[in-house]
Structure 1
Amino acid sequence: MSSVADVAVVIVNYNSGAFLKQCLLGLRQSTIPLEIVVVDNGSIDGSTKFLGKANGVSDCQLIRNSTNQGFAVAVNQGIQSTTAEDVLLLNPDCIVQPHSIARLQLAMQREECGAAGGLVFGFDGREQAGCRRRDPTLARSVVKLLGKLGIWFGLQGVDLTMESLPKSPIQVDAVSGAFMMIHRESLDAVGGMDEGYFLHFEDLDLCRRLRNAGMPVLFVPSVSVLHRQGASSRERSFKVEWHKHIGMCRYRLKFSQMPQIGHWLFRLFVGVHFIWRVCWLVLGGGRKIKMPASGRVASVLTTTSSGTVVLGGRNDVAEYMVPRLSGLARSVLVLSRARERNLFCRSAVMLHPEYLGKVPDEDLPLLEDVICTIPIWHLSKYEGALLRCGVRRLVAISSTSITTKLNSMDQKEKHVVSRLQEGERWLESFGRSNDVACLIIRPTIIYGGHFNRSIRLVQNMIRTLGVFPFDIPEEGTRQPIHADDLAQMAVSWINSKVTGVEIVSVAGRDALSNRALMELLFRSVGRKLRMLPVPARYVQIILQCGSWVFRGLLPSPAAIDRLAVDLGQSNDEAIEKVEFSARSFTP
């Protein structure tokens, strides 16, 4: 990009599809001049066709190999064709912030080191395993191969991702080759990458040789990138596994001082593990969860305009909330432990909550609006991240259980009320202390969507048994509210730009007697109303016994006593304070 480039960026491409173009577009926004070279290892997907055209990303050097020469060979080719004093190895499926390369170079200049790497997140928002590593000794390699089994036994493996993130740069044994900066003189001193590796372990080998030469390897937690991982190898799982295991053996033979018998035992162990991995892939274990497109991730996480974050992605309210927000042309970030395949709107991005907890301040997206659909008592865990994101408006879903179960003698219900009170008190204090507008919504029974365990649970029971297991009393009313009505209310309040802290109770339009509610549920599954004449006290005994086996899945015995209580309420306050309109109950 420049004749006086500060850093040379070497990208090895092999069938990376649209990821390569997105990566280069990101590099063009860099705050320092770059010298970019793309080494194409015989791609057949046309991923480099756009290079050389007048499309805004043509100012980089392209080296074409007729066949796949391997990662190490291609890296050495790219390094030899550049002149900058610092070299950045960057995978084509990485998204880099404009300031990332400059900050990584600055960290290297402050510390005497041979190489440095930053915090590498996957497209799911988790820190990737190879981001910061210990040297893969024999014992650690075995723990790595054992996977979660080794972690369960508390054994020390290769990856450091389970340890807390350091506050400042630290020396580690190795960093990820997906985002690694090296001084050119350090590369020259150790002879570049070992071309005996085809794929995998070449970055570990390079870090080991740098350390052996007295040049430390630095991990810089204040610089981050997003890495799709496997964009070039997603269709070659068996070959990737083969080269990974071959690389593991080469590394062990190269640096280990154990006797010959130890080498043969290690080879046997690696061979057995390879066969197990192949069997796992054949049986379908290698199918990866679909990740969001690189362009969508880049637009949400690198935008300078304000977006909205939804806490929780696997519940009824979020199912309707996310499409509504996306329909308003907002950038939407969903934080959830659920997988991307469970996201109901493909224009949003779903990340693990770990992302907000670890991402550097400089890389945080601007998220002024937050909608919390997870239990309100969990919200305080995100206090630091919320403040760092610059939140100005926050909606949280609580529950009318905070009042209807207030005098319950059931310990489980008392615990729920206590946690709801704790969550609401924290949010009120947070809003007033930080000048954040907050709306706490207390809904009645929520229905609609795919996740609810109240109305849908009863429907499934009726569909399966053809009868309800006990007689519902005529007394008592309920007002179920549709999840989409809550979503619309939250979005409308966010757009209203109001201030202060409000607590609003909401319910559905129809106040239904318990018997009328049951008739509608039976009718919704094509059945006539049928209930067994089982006394309520027997039902309570059954629920009490069942709670010991099915913890958290069954209602408490105290719920039977409340069936005769009117739990309906007026929506006048919600209509006055917030734009709210409830629909009739349609299960």
Structure 2
Amino acid sequence: MTGVAVLGGSSPLVPYLLEHLPQDGSVTLVSRRLAAAPPTAATTTYADAPADLDVARAVSLMPVWELPAYFDWLAERGCRRLVVLSSTSRFTKTASARAHDRDLAARLAGGEDAAEAWAADAGVALTILRPTMVYGGPADGNVSELTRVLRRFRVVPLVGSGSGLRQPVHMGDVAATAARALLADRTPRTAYDISGGEVLAYRRLVDRIRGTVPGPTLVVRVPGWPFRLLERTLPRSRKASLAAGMVDRMGTDMVFDHSAAAADLGHQPRAFTPGV
């Protein structure tokens, strides 16, 4: 395989991805900041890498709406195969009552559309992967955040029954599927939803996480109105808005079919296993 560039080289997905890529120095991590401990099997660099760098294949782990800034960079270095990570939030947050959620969905959709248009014009084989709720690292923003809340406060608030279905997907499974897509010359479809191997209600997800936290923890039923009131009282507070949004989504199903990714890319996600 010729040279590979990983855009978003400081992403927590990188260590998992490198497990599936050549260990011969042909992988270049491209990042705005150097990783704290760069893997020895790859060259960590900034986005102003030499023009003669071999980037026949590239995978983007950065926010998809930032990718257009690298189109010329990729073209100048001979990219012919590109795999891009997006998110199923493109669909789940489109009709949100919150402007920042709708903005995120719009940025995801805009980034995907821009990647498709550029790839078609440049003759680059493109595959877009849309993970569901990603977990598996200390900064995944999902399971890790709930774990921190439990460790600090020993309590997780629950609005309603917490019946909304979730399908968390481990970083290792996302990385393995991304690597398989990258190693293929092209894929039958342009975009794939890649969800986890287990569907469970939000309440069950919380209970599974509680099992990884030493000591007693509680789930406390609370009304949703205090969170919404706090959001209205502090309209500029992103934390208040995020908390209110999380409360509203506890009863909403967020499940996506990954059968196409299984058939075309061998996507075989594990059951939800927090703490690994």
Q: TM-score, normalised by structure 2?
A: 0.91
Question: What value does the CA root-mean-square deviation take over the aligned residues?
Answer: 2.2
Cross-structure match for 2:222: 534
Q: Cα distance, 1:392 vs. partner?
A: 1.0
Kept in 1: contact 2:227–2:240 (CA 8 A)? no
Write out aligned runs for 1:244-283 (5 A). none
Counterpart residue identity of residue 584, structure 1: A
Whether 1:337 aligns to 2:32 is: yes
1:515-572 CA-partner distances (Å, limit 9, x unpaired): 11010111111244512332112123335556734x4696252332222111122221
Correspondent of 1:320 among 16, 35, 48:
16
Mapped partners of 2:241, 2:31: distance in 1 = 25
Mapped partners of 2:33, 2:126: distance in 1 = 26
Q: 1:462 is paired with a residue of what secondary structure? A: helix
Cross-structure match for 2:200: 512
Whether 1:308 aligns to 2:1 is: no
Counterpart residue identity of residue 254, structure 2: L
Whether 1:503 aligns to 2:197 is: no
1:163-212 CA-partner distances (Å, limit 9, x unpaired): xxxxxxxxxxxxxxxxxxxxxxxxxxxxxxxxxxxxxxxxxxxxxxxxxx
Q: Cα distance, 1:317 vs. partner?
A: 1.8
1:94-147 CA-partner distances (Å, limit 9, x unpaired): xxxxxxxxxxxxxxxxxxxxxxxxxxxxxxxxxxxxxxxxxxxxxxxxxxxxxx
Mapped partners of 1:342, 1:476: distance in 2 = 38
Kept in 2: contact 1:440–1:502 (CA 8 A)? yes
Q: Cα distance, 1:581 vs. partner?
A: 0.8
Label 1:500 to 1:388 Cα distance change in 2 as closer, same or farther (>3 A): farther
Q: Cα distance, 1:497 vs. partner?
A: 1.6
Mapped partners of 1:387, 1:582: distance in 2 = 33
Write out aligned runs for 1:469-484 (5 A). 469-471=157-159, 473-484=161-172
Cross-structure match for 1:384: 72
Kept in 2: contact 1:438–1:500 (CA 8 A)? no
Mapped partners of 1:560, 1:530: distance in 2 = 17
Correspondent of 1:418 among 101, 106, 116:
106
Kept in 2: contact 1:312–1:372 (CA 8 A)? yes
Kept in 2: contact 1:317–1:483 (CA 8 A)? yes
Kept in 1: contact 2:56–2:81 (CA 8 A)? yes
Counterpart residue identity of residue 380, structure 1: P
Kept in 2: contact 1:395–1:438 (CA 8 A)? yes
Write out aligned runs for 1:133-532 (5 A). 306-327=2-23, 329=24, 331-343=26-38, 345-353=39-47, 355-356=48-49, 359=50, 361=51, 364-471=52-159, 473-498=161-186, 502-532=190-220
Q: 2:254 is paired with a residue of what secondary structure? A: coil
Q: 2:236 is paired with a residue of what secondary structure? A: helix
Kept in 2: contact 1:394–1:436 (CA 8 A)? yes
Identity of aligned residues (%): 26
Kept in 2: contact 1:324–1:488 (CA 8 A)? yes
Tell me whether 453-462 or 468-477 shows the greater mean CA deviation: 468-477
Q: Cα distance, 1:346 vs. partner?
A: 1.6
Mapped partners of 1:313, 1:553: distance in 2 = 31
Q: 1:567 is paired with a residue of what secondary structure? A: coil
Q: 1:367 is paired with a residue of what secondary structure? A: coil
Mapped partners of 2:130, 2:91: distance in 1 = 10
5+ residue gaps, structure 1: 1-304
Kept in 1: contact 2:9–2:35 (CA 8 A)? no
Mapped partners of 2:18, 2:159: distance in 1 = 39
The alignment covers a number of residue pairs equal to 274
Q: Cα distance, 1:463 vs. partner?
A: 0.6
Mapped partners of 1:556, 1:431: distance in 2 = 37
Q: 1:325 is paired with a residue of what secondary structure? A: coil
Q: Cα distance, 1:348 vs. partner?
A: 0.9
Kept in 1: contact 2:10–2:34 (CA 8 A)? no
Label 1:552 to 1:487 Cα distance change in 2 as closer, same or farther (>3 A): farther
Mapped partners of 1:552, 1:367: distance in 2 = 39
Kept in 1: contact 2:129–2:194 (CA 8 A)? yes
Mapped partners of 1:538, 1:422: distance in 2 = 34
Mapped partners of 1:581, 1:543: distance in 2 = 39
Q: Cα distance, 1:466 vs. partner?
A: 0.8
Greater relative contact order, per chain length (Cα 8 Å cut-off, separation 6+) = 2
Mapped partners of 2:109, 2:213: distance in 1 = 37
Kept in 2: contact 1:428–1:501 (CA 8 A)? no
Label 1:374 to 1:544 Cα distance change in 2 as closer, same or farther (>3 A): farther
1:267-314 CA-partner distances (Å, limit 9, x unpaired): xxxxxxxxxxxxxxxxxxxxxxxxxxxxxxxxxxxxxx8211001123
Cross-structure match for 1:572: 259
Mapped partners of 2:187, 2:201: distance in 1 = 37
Counterpart residue identity of residue 347, structure 1: A
Counterpart residue identity of residue 558, structure 1: G
Q: 1:582 is paired with a residue of what secondary structure? A: coil
Label 1:323 to 1:472 Cα distance change in 2 as closer, same or farther (>3 A): farther
Label 1:533 to 1:552 Cα distance change in 2 as closer, same or farther (>3 A): closer
Q: 2:253 is paired with a residue of what secondary structure? A: coil
Mapped partners of 1:316, 1:544: distance in 2 = 34
Q: Cα distance, 1:498 vs. partner?
A: 1.9
Kept in 1: contact 2:159–2:250 (CA 8 A)? no
